[in-house]
Amino acid sequence: MSDKNLRINQQIRAKEIRVIDDQGKQVGVMPVYEALRLAQDRNLDLVEVAPNAQPPVCRIIDFGKFMYERTKKEREAKKGQKAIEIKELRIRPKTNWYHTGFKLKRVREFIAAGNKIRVRVIFRAREITHTTIGREILEKVAIELADVASIEQAPLMDGKSLMMLLTPGPMKGGPEAAKNMIRNTRVVVPPPEELTPAP
């Protein structure tokens, strides 16, 4: 039962309930009116926490404080869950590897921050017939980053580009495994009518 649907005080329908007091001790099974009196004597609320139990379980607590603490914990949990972003590294087949090396330094920072990396080799015009060049570039990138990233998705054609997806965490088997994975992946080049311009 969600917090919004929790029954408190006079909303509790059961005639008999099992009661846990504000110290966390089991008081026992008693009529609901008796438990309500106990809660009122302590200026607290009676909250049904396990409605499906036989008999239902109720706690004597400060409901306002309970909801505040619960909301605070949920907010803190959300803060801790950082959304994983996918960053993209775009490379052209004719890009000098020296320049790509500079980009890889930035990619390492993204990986260290927990981001996934989509590496995309973008082809123009007739370059699309030379996918082996694109595969070699992806192989170099995967080998270079094998100490910090592993291949989550092997190379595949996506429109007029060849792409792979890297995820944080060293490649199991190291650079050699990265190289073999790329070399053993069959890349299918779509027929010209299916090709769409790369984004």
Distance CA 162, CA 156 (A): 6
Domain ranges in the chain with CATH number 3.30.110.10: 86-194
Q: Residue 186: what pLDDT?
A: 74
Q: Residue 190: what pLDDT?
A: 57
Give the N- to C-terminal CA distance of the chain in Å, as an integer.
47
Domain ranges in the chain with CATH number 3.10.20.80: 3-80
Q: Residue 195: what pLDDT?
A: 47
In this prediction the pTM is 0.54
Q: Residue 81: what pLDDT?
A: 66
Q: Give the amino acid at 166.
A: L
Q: Residue 109: what pLDDT?
A: 92
Backbone angles phi, psi at 48, to 5 degrees: -80, 110
CATH class of this structure's domain 86-194: alpha beta
Q: How many CB atoms lie within 10 A of CB 72?
A: 10
Cα 84 to its chain centre, rounded Å, is: 6
Q: Residue 1: what pLDDT?
A: 47
> What are the E-state strand segments in the chain?
16-20, 26-31, 45-50, 57-61, 86-91, 116-122, 149-158, 161-168
Measured CA distances, 17 to 7, 36, 39, 149 (Å): 13, 11, 13, 55
**Of residues 89, 86, 111, the one with CA closest to residue 101:** 89
Determine how β-strand 149-158 pairs with β-strand 116-122: unpaired
Matching CATH number, 3-80, of 3.30.450.20, 1.10.1060.10, 3.10.20.80, 3.40.1280.10: 3.10.20.80
> Could you read off the pLDDT tens digit of each residue along the chain, which spans 199 residues?
455 678 889 999 989 999 998 888 998 999 999 999 999 999 999 999 899 899 999 999 998 888 888 889 888 877 766 667 889 999 998 888 888 888 899 999 999 988 999 999 998 887 777 788 888 999 999 999 999 999 998 888 888 889 999 999 998 888 888 888 888 877 666 555 544 444 4
Distance CA 149, CA 170 (A): 5
Tens of pLDDT, residue by residue over 126-169, are 777 778 888 899 999 999 999 999 999 888 888 888 999 999 99
